[in-house]
A and B are shown apart, each in its own frame.
Chain A
Amino acid sequence: MSVGLDYQFLVKTFFIALSGVPTALIITIVSLLIALPLGFLLALSRINQIPVISQLARVYVSFVRGTPVIVQIFIIFTSVPLLLKPVFEEYHVQTNIYDINPIWYAFIVFSLNTTAILIEVFRSAISTVSKGQLEAAYSVGLNNVQAFRRIIIPQTLVVALPNICTATVNLIKATSLGYALSLREITLRAQVAANVGYNYIEAYIDIFIVYLLLCSLVEYLFKLYEKRLRKYKAVGA
């Protein structure tokens, strides 16, 4: 065991780890773009108790929240090729299933995962907006879409934003598990660099700093946005 840190390596690997940030961010953004509308719609179906969809959403949320992300990753990673193989053979797609870029699996896993988290977030947020708001919107002549876009969603967003922030930070943290998909994001890049000289401590300190910066930045941006949205917040109860 070497005593003391290899500072040269520490600095060099920091930039290697930093080069994984775009990958982590792309996964986060794509997953959020898929999960936000889907989560909102499913939350609505839960609140209005639309048969079948509501029950399915409930089981789905319970499963995703009840199992570790790493197990979900492995399930998707092993099941998708099995499911796709007959489809590919049927339509004579020439692509080899095992050559697919792992980022696609990451998109699937993390959007499915985040959708489940956001269903619960939106469900509790929508239920804080009183029903009278919707009725009032109808009574002044807004249609369904307008009422939601202009009245309900802004109010829901104010309540949901802190939880969406937590979900986003958790999502960024969860992308570190992409190593299981051999996805070249922050963690794996630094790990690979460390494999050469067994400088694992330095590599993990670098990864630690990168995530710390990234997550603090995201939290800060959400705080700013929250301040801007606060004008929608109803004063008093």
Chain B
Amino acid sequence: MQKYFDVSYLWGTIPQLIPFLKVTFMVAGLSVLFGTILGFILALMKLGTSKIAKKTANSYTTIIRCTPSIVLLFLVYYGLPAIVGNFGTDLNTLHTAVFVVITFSLQFGALMSEVMRTAYEAIDRGQFEAAVSVGLSPAQAFRRIVLPQAFVVALPNFGNSFLELMKEGSLAYTIGLVDIMGKASLIISNNYNSHSLEIYLGLSLIYWILSILIEQFFSRLEKIFSKGKQVIKTT
């Protein structure tokens, strides 16, 4: 164990970690893509008339919400090859990133379904009725009137969920994915555990800047899209 705190290690690790940001982004991006699709389906099930579909979607959300990411990650990582193995397919050679994307898509889908449901319910029913009454078809009314408004409502929550996903994604190092977190732990073990504090601080600096940038991006986006929005002015 090294005794002294050496700042040069902190600055030295950041350029080493930056190239691995693309792994972090790729995993997060794919999870967002698949998770949003899953979330959309779940939201449809929750808003639909079928009682069974509603129950299924709600219990899925509860179960995912009560499971720590790391447990879900390991369940997918060990469980999926075992289940598929029964049908004679070998998944053990698959890249770890696939399991990570599956895990976080499952998780993000549950989050997104709630975001979409609340956003849809936030839009006054009268908006849809008014659109239909001026002669739009229900599909048009949904696409042109309800969806753009629901999108604005969902945007801040979407941004928060995305940030959450990116941070939780750091746990992927536990199953051996080399993203920025994985690279940081590799550097530390190459250094025989010395100066690990500086490296972790460098890593946290990257995450911090990244999340501030994403936050800014989403608040800017929100401003652009809520241009036409009319809100009740509260004093």
Contacts and interface: CB of A to CB of B under 8 A. Distances in A.
Nearest to A63: B208
B24 to A, nearest CB: 11
Contacts of A196: none
A69 B210 CA distance: 15
Most central of B63, B66, B171 by chain A CB within 10 Å? B66
Interface string A199-235: 0110011011001101110010000000000000000
B168 interface: yes
B62 A176 contact: no
Interface stretch (B31-39, B72-80, B134-142): B72-80
Contact of B171 (A66, A70, A72, A200): A70
Given A65-B163, A66-B208, A207-B71, 10 more contacts: A2-B82, A68-B167, A70-B171, A71-B170, A71-B203, A78-B196, A177-B68, A201-B82, A208-B72, A212-B67
27 contacts: A2-B82, A3-B85, A62-B208, A63-B204, A66-B207, A66-B211, A66-B212, A67-B211, A68-B181, A71-B207, A78-B200, A82-B197, A187-B68, A187-B71, A201-B78, A204-B71, A204-B74, A204-B75, A204-B78, A204-B79, A208-B75, A211-B66, A211-B68, A212-B67, A215-B65, A215-B66, A216-B62
Interface of B: 1, 3, 5, 62-63, 65-72, 74-75, 78-79, 81-82, 85-86, 92, 163, 167-168, 170-171, 181, 196-197, 200-201, 203-204, 207-208, 210-212
Interface of A: 1-3, 62-63, 65-72, 74-75, 78-79, 81-82, 85, 169, 173-174, 176-177, 187, 200-201, 204-205, 207-208, 211-212, 214-216, 219
